[in-house]
């Protein structure tokens, strides 16, 4: 059963915030959902937006400027949280591990395993909740994300063939098995066996599987975290795979939501073309 936290009129539709008890994480989870005006007349396609380190459902919901463009194209937007939260949920003093840093994996190691099941939450549980409670078309889904969320979007899209019509990312953590933004977290959540990490590295997945639809990646050329993100590894993998898609280095842009909001219109138009073409 879901609880309504808030609902606000937004570009002719409704921006809602909802909470529910999650079976996947064993905690209360909160998510944002924008429904365009078109949802009053029948099910609409949905674009998932996965956020980055330290974020909640609220960051992109309030900063990305996505609702205006989603309303124009008749697309719903879902903003999940980035990790389980609450009393009794494992955490760490560092900002890049624990609450706010779920990395969209199913943890197998203690103390994380009891609650940090974010892959199952985003891939299975939350889609079912949307399907049963809102005017969402489960056959028309796409996914995007920023930073850690870009990592999640790409790995989910390439690991769940047929699920998403398109995938895009803003400044994704592109090669976490070779980066301090990844090795630390994958080691903590999944253990020391690095073979288990490979399923959560978009550069490796791109070389081995690719994506059946189209891909759009935007990376700020002045991003202060370029050494941690390793965008060149993903770009090389896309070229080696001959992946249908576009990788753009955006001159002068950094890692912030000023960058994300600048290119959000183009990303939603990219997804709209795929979603409405189904």
- 147 noted as active-site residue: yes
Q: Which of 83, 142, 147, 179 is the catalytic position? A: 147
19 is an active site residue: no
Distance of CA 85 to the CA centre of its chain: 18
Q: What is the pLDDT of residue 222?
A: 98
Residue of 57, 200, 255, 271 marked active site = 255
pLDDT band at 184 (very low <50, low <70, confident <90, very high): very high
Residues 6 or more apart whose Cβ sits within 8 Å of residue 112:
90, 98, 188, 189
Distance, in Å, from the CA atom of 128 to the CA atom of 105, rounded to the nearest integer, reads: 18
| Of the candidates 77, 82, 206, the residue with the CA atom closest to the CA atom of residue 144 | 77
> Could you tell me the sign of the dihedral formed by the alpha carbons of 222, 227, 229, 234, in that order?
positive
Enter the pTM of the model: 0.98
Q: Is it the case that residue 31 has pLDDT exceeding 90? A: yes
Q: Percentage of the chain surpassing pLDDT 90?
A: 99
Mean pLDDT of 266-273: 98
Which among 115, 166, 223, 267 is annotated as catalytic? 223
What distance separates the 2 farthest-apart alpha carbons in the chain? 50
Give residue 277's pLDDT.
85
What is the model's pLDDT at position 198? Answer: 98
Backbone angles phi, psi at 200, to 5 degrees: -120, 30
Average pLDDT, the chain: 97
Q: Is 223 a catalytic residue?
A: yes
For the chain, the domains span 2-276
Statement: residue 51 has pLDDT above 70: yes
What's the CA gap between 74 and 242, in Å, rounded?
31
Average pLDDT over residues 181-190: 98
Q: Which CATH architecture has domain 2-276?
A: 3-Layer(aba) Sandwich (3.40)
pLDDT of 278 reads: 64
């Amino acid at each position: 059963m879901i609880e309504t936290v808030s609902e606000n009129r937004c570009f002719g539709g409704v921006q809602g915030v909802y909470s529910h008890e999650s079976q996947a994480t064993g905690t209360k989870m909160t998510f944002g959902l924008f429904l365009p005006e078109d949802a009053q007349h029948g099910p609409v396609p949905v674009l998932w937006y996965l956020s980055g380190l330290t974020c909640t459902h609220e960051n992109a919901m309030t900063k990305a400027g996505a609702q205006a463009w989603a309303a124009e194209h008749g697309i719903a937007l879902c903003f999940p949280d980035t990790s389980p939260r609450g009393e009794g949920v494992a955490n760490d003093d560092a900002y890049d591990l624990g609450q706010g840093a779920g990395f969209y994996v199913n943890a197998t190691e203690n103390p994380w395993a009891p609650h940090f099941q974010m892959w199952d939450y985003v891939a299975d549980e939350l889609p079912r909740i949307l399907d049963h409670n809102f005017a969402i078309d489960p056959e028309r889904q796409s996914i995007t994300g920023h930073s850690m969320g870009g990592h999640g979007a790409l790995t989910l899209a390439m690991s769940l063939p047929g699920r998403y019509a398109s995938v895009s990312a803003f400044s994704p953590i592109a090669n976490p098995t070779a980066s301090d933004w990844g090795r630390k977290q994958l080691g903590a959540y999944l253990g020391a066996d690095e073979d288990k990490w490979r399923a959560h590295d978009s550069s490796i997945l791109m070389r081995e599987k690719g994506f059946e639809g189209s891909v759009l990646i935007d990376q700020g050329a002045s991003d202060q975290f370029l050494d941690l993100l390793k965008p060149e590894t993903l770009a090389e993998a896309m070229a080696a795979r001959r992946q249908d898609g576009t990788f753009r280095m955006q001159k002068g842009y950094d890692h912030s939501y000023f960058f994300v909001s600048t290119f959000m219109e183009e990303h939603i138009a990219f997804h709209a073309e795929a979603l409405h073409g189904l």
